[in-house]
Amino acid sequence: MLRADPCLYGTEREPLWSLLYRYWFWGWLFRDVNEGDLVRRASAWRHNVAVRSCLRTYMWRWLGCTIATACVAQGVEAAPPAAIYPAIFYTWSVLAIIVFSIAVTVWMFLARPAQL
């Protein structure tokens, strides 16, 4: 699996694939609350709650992607001979809605108090 060194994040030596991944997906922001002792888990939870506000940016990106792909699919649907192209864009739109829904769920889940 491809892994970039976290100390390269935000530098000019960061690989393009890592930059694109960090632009679209938020998994790199959060820490695992299921490993370590109680103190480490509580610290990870506090960290995750603190970076919860960054999820709004990702939600806007995925909502924009959903709207853009749905609009392109509507425009391409007007062309009669090519029925596969709207299906491709509608599929991307549905996938973007799924990722957006997951981001909203995580954002709401992190608003609850910790139950360690």
**Residue pLDDT, tens place only, 4-58:** 777 777 788 888 888 888 899 998 899 999 999 999 999 999 999 999 999 999 9
Half-sphere exposure of 116 (CA within 13 A, CB side): 16
pLDDT value of position 114: 62
Domain count for the chain, please give it: 1
pLDDT value of position 80: 72
Boundaries of domain holding 70 = 54-116
> Is 72 part of any domain?
yes
Distance CA 28, CA 8 (A): 13
Q: Does position 62 have pLDDT exceeding 80, yes or no?
A: yes
> Is 3 part of any domain?
no
Distance CA 42, CA 33 (A): 7
Average pLDDT, the chain: 89
112 vs 31: which has the higher pLDDT: 31
